[in-house]
Amino acid sequence: MVQLLQSIKLDNPNKNNMKKVIYLTCSMILFSISTSMAQFDKLKKTVGEKIESTKSSSAGLSQEEVGSGLKEALSRGVEKGVDQISKPDGFLKDLSIKIPLPEEANKVESKLRSIGQGKRVDETIESINRAAEDAASAAKDIFLVAIKGMTIDDAMSILRGEDNAATKFLDNSTRSDLTIKFEPIVKISLDKVGATKNWDLIFSTYNKLPFVQKVNPDLVEYATGKAIDGLFIQIAKEELKIRQDPAARVSDLLKKVFG
């Protein structure tokens, strides 16, 4: 169209040329308007579809229902997670949470295995994991208190958050309380399953070796921290199931909130 305008000689304009200019100019304006309107209609349709989709996905859900749904999801996740790792081998046979010797004891483990003390090291690692399994059930009450105290704002933030948003909420809300409550329980459990005896034995054996730097990490502090870490890893797994697997939403409210 621009080329057509350029082809018209305006050096000596006459009536016919002026009519052509006016006609072509109007055509260009109308073409531009129609194109813009088409784009606007397309954009309007897209936005409308997104709005309707959002409305339908949250239809009939009040903030109170969202809060109740999140609390139910968290409670179920906590109960399943705690029950799972409280069982025999709950820690020991799950490589994602199994408690090894502490990092600073790697050289201890390597040295003791090299002198035929591998069985003793394995017994120590097993007894630490048994203590964590034994103590894990004590976490349930602390978690449930934190869940009960969740606000509507907390719930909405969790719903819109990442796949582990609820687990992060619990971690931030309960870790300090868990540590205080867990330490004496873990200590009793460590003594009960022989972890303390095994721990003292391997480190006293290691520290008697010539030319080694003596080490003896705090067993109770280490086992407590690792037991709590394992709890949150397991709860995060359960949260992910509820968010992503429809079969894990076992109540109508969970289906409505996460559907």
Cβ-defined contacts of 32-37 (< 8 Å, 24+): none
pLDDT value, residue 43: 40
- Which residue ranges in the chain fall short of pLDDT 50? 1-6, 8-12, 15, 17-40, 43-59
The structure tokens listed for 149 are 């105290």
pLDDT value, residue 29: 43
Q: Is 109 exposed, middle or buried (0-12, 13-18, 19+ CB in 10 A)?
A: buried
Candidates 245, 242, 56; CA nearest to 158 is 242
DSSP letter for 209, please: S
Question: At residue 16, what are phi and psi to the nearest 5 degrees?
Answer: -65, -45
Give the tens place of pLDDT for each residue, 186-224: 899 899 888 898 888 888 888 888 888 887 778 999 999
The structure tokens listed for 91 are 């820690």
How do the residues of the chain divide into helix, strand and coil, expressed in percent and rounded to 5?
75, 0, 25
How many angstroms separate the CA atoms of 165 and 175, rounded?
A: 15
Cβ atoms of residues 180 and 156 within 8 Å: no
Quickly tell me which residue has 């994602």 as its tokens.
96
DSSP letter for 14, please: -
Side-chain-facing half-sphere of 100: CA atoms under 13 Å = 11
How many angstroms separate the CA atoms of 19 and 21, rounded?
A: 5
Cβ atoms of residues 112 and 205 within 8 Å: yes
First to last CA, the chain: 53
pLDDT value, residue 14: 52
How many angstroms separate the CA atoms of 39 and 34, rounded?
A: 9
